[in-house]
Homo-oligomer: A and B are copies of this chain.
Amino acid sequence: MSNKLDNSQIIHTDKIALFHRETIKKYTKNILTKNPPKIVGFLANDDPAAKSYAKWTKKACESDGIQFELKYVDKDDLETHVEDANKNDSIHGIMIYYPVFGNMKTFYGMSMDEYLRDSIHPKKDIEGLNSYYSSKLYRNIRFMDSPHNLKKLILPCTPIAVVKILEYLYQYNEPDPLLGKTITIINRSDIVGRPLAAMLANDGAVVYSIDIDSTFVVTKKKKSLSQMTVEESCKQSQIIITGVPVKSYQLPSKYIQPNTTIINVSSFKNVNIEEVLKIPNVRYVPQVGKVTVAMLERNLLRCYDNTNNK
Contact = CB atoms under 8 A, between A and B. Distances in A.
Interface in A108-165: 108-109, 115, 118-119, 131-132, 135, 138-139
Nearest to A216: B107
Copies in the complex: 2
A106 interface: yes
Given A119-B139, A139-B119, A108 B214 contact: no
A115 B135 CA distance: 8
A194 B139 CA distance: 27
Contact of A108 (B107, B109, B138): B138
Contact of A107 (B106, B131, B197): B197
A187 interface: no
A105 interface: yes
A261 to B, nearest CB: 23
Contact of A194 (B107, B138, B188): B107
B138 A190 contact: no
A237 interface: no
A202 to B, nearest CB: 13
A186 to B, nearest CB: 15
| Top 7 A-B residue pairs of the complex, sorted by shortest distance between their CB atoms | A107-B223, A107-B216, A118-B135, A131-B131, A108-B138, A107-B218, A109-B194
24 contacts: A105-B214, A105-B225, A106-B223, A107-B188, A107-B194, A107-B197, A107-B209, A107-B216, A107-B218, A107-B223, A107-B224, A108-B138, A108-B194, A108-B223, A109-B188, A109-B190, A109-B194, A115-B138, A118-B131, A118-B135, A119-B139, A131-B131, A131-B135, A132-B132
